Every structure is written in structure tokens, then in C-alpha cells.
């Protein structure tokens, strides 16, 4: 496996690296000289990676990280000076679905974010499409778009107030100020703070725990959580039962209890 901190960082290097390590797919935004600002190329590679996560049964969990000790500084603001920011919407780009940023498109496998350094604007926006979020203690988060009279088109005006308390979401969205990892954990934007430089290792540790679990159970839990978002709980139980019964009917659901009784690690096949 390539170490993201040692990958080539010239403009000729791919803007995003995708590597499979056993059942894990690691997606690394790779433009460290711009703090991994999002480019069209980077977004296209991420879109392909998300399709691969959803379609490849050998992938059980995905990790999203950034090269060089940075997560992502959002849209490439310098590139945006070369033409009117709104021109991209005139050339067929439909912002109702921004797959690269996981807006209007969801993964069927868990996505873990490993954040070091800045995760600003689009960087904090894509974070909101991840399931488990780990950050080095000096990582910085914020939705800076309003500072440049831009709009958080990655979905934050809709998602952020659903993911963290309303008044804090409004403070972050309207001021554009950045917060450090301990505060981000306090408000529930991220789940775990580790010493700087250890976010990726922690993400692998958590990914390994998930990979050892029954993949059908993991994906079913994710599906129910996603499908029940925003619904009254009484409107969820019918689907919850269908999804749960399918997991209980699987070979893996026989293997799990058998492994427990035989005092050995289960060998799940995903069927």
C-alpha cells in the first residue's frame, strides 16, 4: 500500500489516488500544494471510486483522506478567478447532485474520514457525507463560502443543521469561521480526535473492525439508517423488518453464532 504522505505531489500526479488494501478502499485527495483543493479531475476520480465502492463486493469499507497532512481546502479558488464562478453551471453541471462530494449520492458501504490539517468549505462539505470522522488535533473545519460571497453548494446549508446543533451550524455557515478538532468533536461534527499524524492509522483500525463484521449486516444497518433519515419511526419499521429478515436469512447469520459457539473468529462470505 502507498503511504499518502510519500506519494508524488507534482501537478502531473493524479489529483486523487485510489488503492485497495484487502477489503478497504483508500481514496486520497492529492493536490497538497493547494491544500488538496477540489479540481474537476479530482472529482471525476472520486466519482469512479464511489461507483467502485458500491459495485465491488470485495470492498467492505472506504477511507477518505488527503495527501501531505491536509484534508481539503474546497473548490480551487485560484482556478475560479479564470472564469466567472457561475459559468460551470451553464456548461451542463447540475448542482442538485454532486456525486464527488456525496451530495445526492450515497455509498452502500461505510465511509471513514481521516482528517489532518484544513478541511475547509468543500472539505467540510464532503465530510458531511461520511459516516465515521477522525481528525488530528490541529485539523481545522469550517464552511467558508460566504466569506468569498459563494454558496455552500456541497450541501451544507441543508445538511449541517441536521448533523450538529442548529445555532452552531448557523454560526459556522454565516461567519465562515474555522474551528479546531477538539471543538468539532464537542459539537459532534467529528467523532474522534487523535494526535496529529495519527488520523489515518486510527481510520484503518476502525475500518479493520468493520471489515471483520458481517458485510451484509453492516450494509443493511447503513441502508436502514440512510432510508429512515427524516422519517417518523413508525414509518420505518416495515422496511426495517424486511432488511433485518434478509440478514437473518443469510449464510453469514449462521456462521456468526456458530463461530461464537466454537470459540473462533467468524469467516463471513457476504451471502
Ligand X SMILES: C[C@H]([C@H](O)CC(=O)SCCNC(=O)CCNC(=O)[C@H](O)C(C)(C)COP(=O)(O)OP(=O)(O)OC[C@H]1O[C@@H](n2cnc3c(N)ncnc32)[C@H](O)[C@@H]1OP(=O)(O)O)[C@H]1CC[C@H]2[C@@H]3CCC4=CC(=O)CC[C@]4(C)[C@H]3CC[C@]12C
Q: Which residues are catalytic?
A: 125, 145
| For ligand X, the closer CB: 9 or 108 | 9
* Closest separation in Å from C-beta 53 to ligand X: 20
Positions in the binding site for ligand X (CB under 6 A): 34-35, 37-40, 43, 73-78, 88, 93, 98, 118, 120-122, 125, 144-145, 150, 152-154
| For ligand X, the closer CB: 116 or 125 | 125
Q: Is 146 exposed, middle or buried (0-12, 13-18, 19+ CB in 10 A)?
A: middle
Residue 200, SS3 per DSSP:
helix
* Closest separation in Å from C-beta 29 to ligand X: 11
Query: Among residues 3, 22, 24, which one has the least CA distance to residue 207?
Result: 24
Q: What are phi and psi of 247, to 5 degrees?
A: -65, -45
| For ligand X, the closer CB: 89 or 260 | 89
Give me the residue whose beta carbon is nearest to ligand X. 74
What is the C-alpha separation between 193 and 135, in angstroms, rounded? Answer: 5
Residue in the block written with cell 451471502: 271
* Closest separation in Å from C-beta 127 to ligand X: 12
* Closest separation in Å from C-beta 116 to ligand X: 11
8 Å CB contact between 170 and 153: no
| Beta partners for residue 189, in sequence order | none
Residue 27, SS3 per DSSP:
strand
| For ligand X, the closer CB: 110 or 154 | 154
Amino acid at each position: 500500500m502507498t503511504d499518502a504522505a510519500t506519494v508524488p505531489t507534482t501537478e502531473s500526479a493524479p489529483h486523487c489516488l485510489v488503492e485497495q488494501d484487502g477489503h478497504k478502499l483508500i481514496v486520497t485527495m492529492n493536490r497538497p500544494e493547494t491544500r488538496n483543493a477540489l479540481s474537476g479531475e479530482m472529482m471525476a476520480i472520486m466519482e469512479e471510486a464511489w461507483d467502485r465502492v458500491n459495485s465491488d463486493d470485495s470492498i467492505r469499507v472506504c477511507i477518505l483522506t488527503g495527501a501531505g497532512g491536509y484534508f481539503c481546502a474546497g473548490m480551487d479558488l485560484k482556478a475560479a478567478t479564470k472564469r466567472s464562478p457561475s459559468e460551470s453551471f451553464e456548461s451542463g453541471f447540475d448542482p442538485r447532485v454532486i456525486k464527488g462530494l456525496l451530495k445526492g449520492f450515497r455509498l452502500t458501504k461505510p465511509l471513514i474520514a481521516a482528517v489532518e490539517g484544513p478541511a475547509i468549505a468543500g472539505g467540510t462539505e464532503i465530510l458531511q457525507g461520511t459516516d465515521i470522522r477522525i481528525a488530528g488535533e490541529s485539523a481545522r473545519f469550517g464552511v467558508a463560502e460566504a466569506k468569498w460571497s459563494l454558496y455552500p453548494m456541497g450541501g451544507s446549508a441543508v445538511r449541517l443543521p441536521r448533523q450538529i446543533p442548529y445555532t452552531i451550524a448557523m454560526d459556522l455557515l454565516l461567519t465562515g469561521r474555522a474551528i479546531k478538532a477538539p471543538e468539532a468533536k464537542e459539537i459532534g461534527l467529528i467523532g474522534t480526535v487523535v494526535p496529529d499524524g495519527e488520523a489515518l492509522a486510527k481510520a484503518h483500525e476502525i475500518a479493520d473492525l468493520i471489515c471483520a463484521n458481517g458485510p451484509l449486516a453492516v450494509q443493511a444497518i447503513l441502508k436502514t439508517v440512510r432510508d429512515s433519515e427524516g422519517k417518523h419511526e413508525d414509518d420505518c419499521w416495515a422496511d426495517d423488518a424486511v432488511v433485518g429478515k434478509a440478514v437473518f436469512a443469510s449464510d453469514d447469520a449462521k456462521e456468526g453464532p456458530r463461530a461464537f459457539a466454537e470459540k473462533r473468529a467468524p469467516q463471513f462470505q457476504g451471502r
